A and B are shown apart, each in its own frame.
Chain A
Amino acid sequence: MHSQKLLESLVGLLILLATIMLALLAFKVSGLTNFLPAPSFHVNAAFNDIGGLKVKAPVKMSGVQIGEVTRITLDSVTYKAIVTMRIGNDFNDIPDDSSAGIYTAGLLGDNYVALTPMYSKSYLKDGSQIEFTHSAMILEKLIGQLIYKLSGDQHATSEK
């Protein structure tokens, strides 16, 4: 039989080990970083079609992640999708006439928002609106257009 003191310290060690592992699990595996959200500001953009964009999708500029999508709502007047993005305060010098587009990472990847900078001297700040947007490319629509066009050509040739 071990002494109670040794036994208690070994149990303490087990609890300590489990706590460290839990912290690793939280920060290294599940990427839990929004305990203390980095200082950031929000901007809005209205899109005609957001495709498969989801909340927490990355916002990128030149491929570098600068923020994430925090909210997606539908404007009840214009029926456009309003996408709210959170952008880190480190990137507070983005020209306010930049354009936002929705792209797909790879052929089957998730959607993300890409900002393309322009040349204005005034910058995006909290609550500002991105005016120029490009909707998501919907593969089905493109295929539909292509088929429509092809069949149209066929009609044109057969009429000749």
Chain B
Amino acid sequence: MINALQSLGRMGLNRLKSLGQAGILLYRVLFCLPNIRKGFPLVVQQIYFEGVLSLSIIVVASLFIGMVLALQGYHTLAKFGALAQLGPLVALSVTRELGPVVTAILFAGRAGSAVTAEISLMKATEQLSSMEMMAVDPVRYVISPRFWGGLITVPMLTIIFNMVAIYGAYLVGVKWLGLDAGVFWSNMQSSVEWHSDVLNGLLKSLVFGAAVSWVAVTQGYFAAPSSAGIASATTRSVVYASLLVLGLDFIMTAMMIGAW
């Protein structure tokens, strides 16, 4: 009985400890900025690895999501004779929800896992400790560029996702199913607001970018230095990042609808 209580307490303390470590890491990444001249090329490199190389999956996924959204919306709206609302339906659901959320989840799977695996392998092969031996701060040299690269990349990918998905819907709705192009675009323009729909969506994606990158670098940096540790760190990185994105999405949507 006492033993069970003790193990429960130990588990709670360990959880709190790792949360605190992650918080300290985030603080160091955010406030101990690397030298701009030396850090900038590293961030550009990370934007390449996390952004440019994720572009293909983002474009393909968004095209199909936009197309299937238009197809489903068309058949549902046709029942109510409200086909003119297909453009607003697609544009609002993509800019407000699907764009930021799906991009962040795909990013967690495509780039976040890679970042975690890379950092945890560096830790397992003691590259991080040898950097410290050479008086190179691994947080500034390895962790920080990956975090900032992810933070900058996700909103850009979200913008591309939004536009490609809307063009996918245009392809299906207008070119295939024969909706009028003018009806599609003008109804969309009259019901999508620049500030409350598009900018709020991008604000969400900025927060998701920070969350996914933070989870990825934390899981990598505190991974157990073994092959099993790398495997479980990579898995946890994707799972935690995806769940965090979905949870944050609900909270931020509630805040945006309630207060802004």
Contacts and interface: CB of A to CB of B under 8 A. Distances in A.
Interface in B101-159: 155-157, 159
Contact of A15 (B156, B162, B164, B194): B156
Interface stretch (B15-23, B46-54, B206-214, B242-250): B46-54
A29 B189 contact: yes
Interface in A1-43: 2, 4, 7-8, 10-11, 13-15, 17-18, 21-22, 24-26, 28-32
Contacts of A22: 159
B156 A14 contact: yes
Given A30-B194, A30-B197, A25 B45 contact: no
Nearest to B49: A7
B52 to A, nearest CB: 5
B48 A29 contact: no
Interface residues of B, number: 28
A14 B190 contact: no
A14 B55 contact: yes
Interface of B is mostly: helix
A52 to B, nearest CB: 16
B200 to A, nearest CB: 11
Contacts of B55: 14
Contacts of B166: 29
B160 A18 contact: yes
Interface in B13-72: 41, 44-45, 47-48, 51-52, 55
B163 A8 contact: no
B216 interface: no
Contact of B51 (A14, A21, A24, A26): A14
Instruction: Tell me if A's interface is mostly helix, strand, loop or mixed.
Output: helix
Nearest to A31: B189
B91 interface: yes
Interface in B163-190: 163-164, 166, 185, 188-190
B93 to A, nearest CB: 12
A7 B41 CA distance: 10
Contacts of B159: 18, 21-22, 25
B156 A29 contact: no
B41 A29 contact: no
Contacts of A8: 41, 44
Top 4 closest pairs, chain A to chain B, by CB? A31-B189, A18-B156, A21-B163, A30-B194
8 contacts: A7-B44, A11-B51, A29-B95, A30-B193, A30-B197, A30-B198, A31-B190, A31-B192
